Structure 1
Amino acid sequence: MQIRKFMSVVFTAALFVTGLVGQVGAIKGSATHFTPGLGACGVYSQKEDIVVAVGTKVYAKGKHCKERMRVQHMGKTIQVTMMDECPGCNDTHIDLGEAAFKKLADVDVGVIEVTWDFISGSDSGDC
């Protein structure tokens, strides 16, 4: 009887962990916009570039420079390149280059709710 109860607990825990693992990559947060320029990754981005800046903790001293990210808002999905640090952003907030923001919403909106994640295997090298 104890083994059956133990196996039930293990199975339930495994289902719980599996559910969490599937959600770890996608972050629910918010996004604002900025005018790109010389980013923390050491690359100058143009106004029309589809780029994003992330908070200091996510930036991780440049660990994610040039990595691709997927950003979703109200049924629209874009891919952006992480090129800058946003010191004022928390761990769930991102700052989209104006051209990227326009693909999701009108810039006059200012702040939008988004879901974002890094695209696996998208590392383009160090900045």
Structure 2
Amino acid sequence: MLTFQKITVASLLFASSLFAFAAAAPAERSLKTGDATYYNPGLGACGKSNTGADQVVAVSQQLFDTYPGHTSNPNANPICGRRVKVNYGGKSVVVTVEDRCPACAFNDLDLSPSAFQALAPLAAGRLRGMTWDFV
């Protein structure tokens, strides 16, 4: 009986530590709401060249520059290459972070034209209330 209690206590401690880790770790894993615009990509802050046909995104400069693990070298920022799922009007597109957007508010995204068009026509110009999250 005593052995069973020890296992139970150990199991509970392990389970509670997993719960605490899961609750604390994914702060970035929450749906964000902002505006989406589009831009013509070129050489981005992550050090790669892209075109309007690529499924890429520029995140706000505030997010880019405060992302955990960022350094003074933007090409080495750990947000570079992260995948983001963007949702708007019942549609979604998955894009890769390749740049930063100085004019964007914290949760706004600047999409490549092809990514924007997966959600709405370019003529829309701005998609207010789009949501996104890292994948």
**TM-score over 0.5 for the pair:** yes
Query: Which structure has the bigger radius of gyration?
Result: 2
Out of 35, 39, 46, the residue aligned to residue 44 of structure 2 is 39
Structure 1 unmatched runs, 5+:
1-17, 120-127
Residues of 1 paired with 2:28 and 2:109: CA distance? 18
Moved over 2 A (4+): 21-24, 60-63
> Any conservation in 1 of the 2:37–2:111 contact (CA below 8 Å)?
yes
Letter of the 1:43 partner, please give it. K
Out of 109, 123, 131, the residue aligned to residue 94 of structure 1 is 109
Deviation at 1:108, TM superposition (A): 0.6
Alignment partner, residue 25 of structure 1: 30
Deviation at 1:47, TM superposition (A): 1.9
Matched residue of 1:104: which SS?
coil
Report matched runs for 1:63-74 at 5 Å.
63-74=78-89
Out of 44, 49, 56, the residue aligned to residue 51 of structure 1 is 56
TM-score normalised by structure 1 residue count: 0.73
Aligned residues: 100
Matched residue of 1:78: which SS?
strand
- Say yes or no: does 1:111 pair with 2:126: yes
Deviation at 1:63, TM superposition (A): 2.8
TM-score normalised by structure 2 residue count: 0.69
Letter of the 1:85 partner, please give it. R
Deviation at 1:23, TM superposition (A): 9.4
Deviation at 1:72, TM superposition (A): 0.2
User: RMSD across aligned C-alpha pairs, in angstroms?
Assistant: 1.9
Q: Percent identity?
A: 37
The CA deviation string for residues 2-40 of structure 1, in whole angstroms up to 9 with x for no partner, is xxxxxxxxxxxxxxxx8xx89961101110000111000
